[in-house]
Amino acid sequence: MEDDAPVIYGLEFQARALTPQTAETDAIRFLVGTQSLKYDNQIHIIDFDDENNIINKNVLLHQAGEIWHISASPADKGVLATCYNKTSDSRVQACAAVWRMPKELESGSHESPDDPASTAQTLELLCHLDNGAHGNVACVVWEPMGDGKKVISLADSHILLWDLQASSSQAVLASSAALEGRGQLRFTAGRWSPHHNCTQVATASDTTLRGWDTRSMSQIYCIENAHGQLVRDLDFNPNKQYYLASCGDDCKVKFWDTRNVTEPVKTLEEHSHWVWSVRYNHSHDQLVLTGSSDSRVILSNMVSISSEPFGHLVDDDDVSDPEEHHTEKSKEPLQDNVIATYEEHEDSVYAVDWASADPWLFASLSYDGRLVINRVPRALKYHILL
């Protein structure tokens, strides 16, 4: 069907950082950060017009350095955080900062500048996070559903909780903790759980997953050797409070119940190279996206461990007419399966993410700067909804 066709956008620069604009719930909008050593780096604001199936873009200059990670404020459309490399005294340092985009670009405008050579606008620096005092910053995560005042940064072996004050122009270190043990202890990824009143964060370091309580900055759980090799990414199930997905260089995606960490609840082995990114759908948590260095994006239906293992949440309407449902609804959970494999990329897919404003739409980004926007197949969408 025509509508399920992918829409492809080329950035002209290498890129690995992607985020939906979390606070934007009407327009479909993604932010992409570039990695260029020769030219000024950029953030591309990608607005997808789903009625006409076209992409509109605006470009912001990010002169601080090449962007390794980008995340958007859950509360303020105009605010975002980047982790970037800066070179000083021939030493490369990974730093993090909070920025504001120009006011006129905050909302999905759906209009690209007419003049293709129109000048890119610059980001306003709100504050630096730490400026390298604790080491190289791997990522910055915002408190979900929060007011955009709390962020966590992971820097080498430190987990740091910041309060953004005075309209985010000042970052105050509220508390911190550090990994302890032998060897090169370094965080690679982190996610803030939307459950437990937003008091839990999960981190990845080497092959280990850890849970942290943000109130005491103490460790709640630890999954050693969660993967055979480096863990690249993790994500929380938005609807099941103890469920966590992780992926890594062992080509696997694993699903965990953090109350019992001896073994994963489920393992996916569909990719043939490192898995860089895993994301649950925000509304329908059986839909799980993964992106890998095998250049593929895989959409999986993990219905057996979802919040709707029998295909839907049982509600009172189903009980009202037992005759009607008796024959077709067996009590067996539905089977997990791969819904689709997307092969529009020719390079490592470093990031996948769902749109904030449309639960059926997702983006993937490969290192060659190709951004692809796809939709969940229509037949499956109606199967889930009806």
Token pair of 66, please?
């090449």
**Cβ atoms of 280 and 286 closer than 8 Å:** no
What pLDDT does residue 314 have?
Answer: 44
Residue 4 has phi, psi (to 5 degrees) of -85, 0
Q: How far apart are CA 377 and CA 382, in angstroms?
A: 9
Cα dihedral value 313, 317, 322, 325, nearest 10: -50
CATH class (in words) of the domain with range 8-106+120-178: mainly beta
Whether the pTM exceeds 0.85: the reply is yes
What pLDDT does residue 2 have?
Answer: 46
If we measure between CA atoms, which residue out of 198, 205, 296 comes closest to residue 238?
Answer: 198
**Cβ atoms of 83 and 95 closer than 8 Å:** yes
Token pair of 89, please?
């005294």
**pLDDT single digits (tens) 235-292:** 999 999 999 999 999 999 999 999 999 999 999 999 999 999 999 999 999 999 999 9
Q: How far apart are CA 24 and CA 40, in angstroms?
A: 27
Start and end residues for every CATH 2.130.10.10 domain found in the chain: 8-106+120-178, 185-308+331-385
What pLDDT does residue 272 have?
Answer: 94
Sheet with strand 124-128: strands edge to edge: 66-72, 79-88, 91-100, 124-128
Token pair of 44, please?
């591309």
Half-sphere exposure of 213 (CA within 13 A, CB side): 7
N-terminal to C-terminal alpha carbon distance within the chain: 20
Q: How far apart are CA 18 and CA 32, in angstroms?
A: 5
If we measure between CA atoms, which residue out of 225, 233, 237, 243 comes closest to residue 275?
Answer: 233
Q: What is the DSSP string of 257-290?
A: ETTB-SS-SEEE---SS-EEEEEE-SS-TTEEEE
User: Which residues of the chain fall short of a pLDDT of 70?
Assistant: 1-3, 108-118, 131-132, 183-184, 311-333
- What residues form DSSP beta bridges with 7? 373
If we measure between CA atoms, which residue out of 181, 170, 95 comes closest to residue 139?
Answer: 95
Q: Would you give the DSSP letter of residue 120? A: P
Superfamily classification of domain 185-308+331-385: YVTN repeat-like/Quinoprotein amine dehydrogenase (2.130.10.10)
Cα–Cα distances in Å, from 54 out to 46, 77, 293, 350, 373? 10, 22, 27, 23, 10
Burial pattern 328-358, b for ≥16 Cβ within 10 A else e, equals: eeeeeebebeebeebebbeebbbbbbbbbbb
Q: Say which residue the tokens 């985010």 belong to.
A: 168
Q: How far apart are CA 31 and CA 16, in angstroms?
A: 11
Q: Say which residue the tokens 């990608």 belong to.
A: 46
**Cβ atoms of 195 and 241 closer than 8 Å:** yes
Residue 306: how many CB atoms within 10 A of its CB? 24
Q: 149 Cβ partners below 8 Å, 6+ apart?
A: 75, 143, 163, 164, 165, 168
How long, in residues, is the chain?
A: 386
